[in-house]
């Protein structure tokens, strides 16, 4: 059992580090992209990003998570390969239909987004869905055995080549070789090209593994849980929850800003500023998604935490502890983070509001993952998801004309709260199944607030002597981040927020426990 726990934790951090590295690349490339093409050019590229985001959810997180759990339930290798083949065929048929529909409706979708010239970008992103069957099934196959390396290597390689193409297209635009729409189309084609590389890596690894596992098995019977279809939908929509809100923003925010009297070019710039928050949000949420990716296969035949309960509870507590640190830190460091990444502090208040989504969505992901096998409640969760989307649309209509892009950020956070408090209500606010007692939650909130306040004071003091330039923002962040981390660690130790075993889940956890002198 201890060996399995150690393997699970190792698998979590392999995938987490790879995902963090990928998202770090995703955040970094947006800096030169936005710097070269400006906020309007950034908008042109980013406006169709939610469509790519849906592909990313299907290929990288949502489908692999639930597929890995289903694979883990199979009793023989023959059954596992039989399930792999049938899952691939079903996904391929569905994704061919999706690609065709997106291609044929691209002009209409571009019109709804507010700029008819975006249709070539919609078409090139549509092609990425043809890669979903390969990526989702193979990643799920490996992750079911807690083998995270293939997913990690393919994910980083895919992101790297995608970014190379994006930066190359931005540079070509900067030298006048492409107009802004051609730049956006070429940049978005990087997702398809990078995806092909990821598929190649996964297929090669699978063929090697299959040779090793090619023991003859008589029983090819596939074991499927009752309510599996609903669970698939549940995990996919919730792991990609932020993408659906961004999808709504792509079709509403620009038009609502223009309806409020803003000119098209200015509205596009404002939407581009709002989109600065997406890489920061993704970077924060990737932690919880990595924990969910490791938790799901361990649920296997039981979803009521009878097996592996201790391991899952540790991961839940550590994940929330990290999410609070990320959220509080990012809010406290605005507008310095914004200036450091995107040259100016425009929209910093909006981004601060938007960062609350990191904590809320991380909590939602954990709640959904550990209760995904509760067939009686899964339909209720999907209804909550639908209610939140309706809430987002309604709040956008009300708040964006009054408060601009800040209204969109508020609408997103409040819509996420509909789901969070809805799920907690369904389970009568019972924290026991997550091992989240009142003392832990109280100390977690206090620690985050104290750390944020101290960091904000440090930033304010430094800002009185340093002007708001990119170089100075980098310097302020270099000073403030270690101070914030030290305070968060010291308070966490003082209030015994994590056990020694939970501290050891963190990267270099054993060294950290020695440095912090953590005892049982």
Q: What is the pLDDT of residues 443-463, one digit of tens each?
A: 999 999 999 999 999 999 999
Q: How far apart are CA 68 and CA 395, in angstroms?
A: 36
Q: Is the pLDDT of residue 503 over 80?
A: yes
In eight-state DSSP terms, residue 309 is: H
Q: What is the chain's mean pLDDT, rounded? A: 83
> Is position 517 within any domain?
no
Report pLDDT digits (tens) over 162-190. 999 999 999 999 888 999 899 999 999 99
Q: How far apart are CA 471 and CA 187, in angstroms?
A: 28
> Is position 280 within any domain?
no
DSSP for 84-140 reads HHHHHHHHHHHHHHHHHHHHHTHHHHHHHTT-GGGHHHHHHHHGGGGGHHHHHHHHH
> Is position 124 within any domain?
yes
> Is position 458 within any domain?
no
Write down the pLDDT at residue 303.
45
**Three-class SS state of 173:** helix
Q: How far apart are CA 490 and CA 479, in angstroms?
A: 17
DSSP for 439-476 reads HHHHHHHHHHHHHHHHHHHHHHHHHTTS-S-HHHHHHH
Write down the pLDDT at residue 61.
66
> Is position 22 within any domain?
yes
> Is position 390 within any domain?
no
**Three-class SS state of 505:** coil
Report pLDDT digits (tens) over 388-419. 999 999 999 999 999 999 999 999 999 999 99
Q: Is the pLDDT of residue 15 over 60?
A: yes
Q: Is the pLDDT of residue 305 over 50?
A: no
Structural domain tally of the chain?
1
> Is position 116 within any domain?
yes
Residue 136 structural domain: 1-206
Residue 430, phi then psi, degrees to nearest 5: -80, 110
Q: Over the range 379-407, which residues count as b (16 or more CB within 10 Å of their CB) and which as e? A: eebeebbeebbebbbebbeebbeebbbbb
> Is position 391 within any domain?
no
CB 275 within 8 A of CB 232: no
CB 240 within 8 A of CB 62: yes
Write down the pLDDT at residue 304.
45
Report pLDDT digits (tens) over 79-93. 777 888 888 999 899
Q: How far apart are CA 144 and CA 70, in angstroms?
A: 8
Report pLDDT digits (tens) over 339-355. 988 888 999 999 999 99
């Amino acid at each position: 059992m201890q060996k399995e726990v150690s393997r699970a934790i190792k698998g979590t951090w392999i995938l987490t580090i790879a995902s963090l590295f990928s998202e770090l690349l995703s955040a970094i490339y947006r800096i030169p992209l936005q710097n070269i093409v400006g906020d309007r050019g950034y908008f042109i590229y980013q406006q169709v990003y939610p469509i790519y985001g849906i592909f990313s959810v299907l290929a990288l997180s949502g489908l692999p998570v639930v597929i890995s759990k289903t694979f883990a339930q199979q009793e023989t290798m023959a059954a596992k390969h039989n399930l792999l083949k049938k899952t691939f065929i079903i996904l391929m048929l569905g994704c061919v239909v999706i690609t065709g529909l997106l291609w044929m409706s691209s002009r209409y979708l571009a019109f709804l987004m507010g700029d008819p010239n975006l249709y070539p970008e919609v078409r090139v992103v549509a092609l990425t869905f043809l890669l979903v069957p390969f990526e989702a099934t193979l990643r799920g196959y490996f992750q079911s055995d807690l083998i995270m390396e293939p997913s990690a290597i393919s994910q980083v390689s895919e992101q790297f080549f995608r970014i190379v193409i994006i930066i190359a297209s931005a540079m070509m635009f900067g030298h006048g070789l492409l107009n802004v729409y051609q730049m956006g189309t070429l940049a978005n084609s990087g997702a398809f090209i990078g995806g092909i590389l990821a598929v190649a890596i996964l297929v090669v690894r699978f063929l090697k593994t299959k040779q090793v596992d090619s023991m003859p098995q008589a029983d090819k019977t596939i074991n499927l849980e009752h309510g599996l279809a609903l669970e698939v939908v549940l995990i996919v929509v919730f792991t990609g929850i932020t993408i659906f809100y961004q999808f709504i923003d792509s079709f509403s925010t620009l038009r609502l800003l223009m309806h409020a009297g803003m000119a098209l070019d200015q509205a596009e710039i404002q939407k581009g500023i709002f989109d600065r928050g997406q890489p920061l949000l993704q970077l924060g949420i990737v932690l919880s998604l990595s924990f969910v990716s490791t938790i799901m296969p361990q649920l296997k035949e039981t979803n009521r935490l009878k097996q592996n309960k201790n391991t899952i509870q540790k991961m839940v507590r550590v994940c929330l502890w990290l999410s609070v640190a990320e959220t509080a830190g990012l809010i406290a460091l605005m507008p310095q983070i914004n200036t450091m990444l995107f040259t100016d502090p425009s929209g910093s208040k909006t981004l601060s509001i938007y960062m609350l989504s990191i904590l809320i969505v991380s909590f939602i992901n954990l709640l959904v993952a550990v209760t995904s096998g509760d067939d009686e409640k899964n339909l209720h969760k999907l209804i909550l998801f639908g209610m939140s989307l309706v809430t987002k649309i309604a709040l956008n209509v009300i708040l964006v004309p009054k408060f601009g892009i800040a209204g969109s950020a508020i609408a997103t956070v409040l819509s996420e709260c509909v789901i969070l408090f809805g799920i907690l209500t369904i389970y009568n606010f019972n924290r026991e199944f997550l091992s989240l007692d009142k003392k832990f939650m109280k100390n977690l909130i206090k620690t985050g607030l104290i750390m944020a306040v101290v960091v904000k004071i440090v930033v304010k003091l430094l800002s009185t002597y340093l002007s708001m330039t990119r170089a100075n923002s980098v310097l302020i962040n270099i000073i403030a981040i270690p101070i914030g981390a030290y305070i968060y660690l010291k308070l966490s130790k003082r209030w015994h927020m994590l056990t020694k075993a939970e501290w050891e889940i963190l990267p270099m956890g054993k060294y950290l426990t020695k440095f912090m002198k953590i005892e049982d």
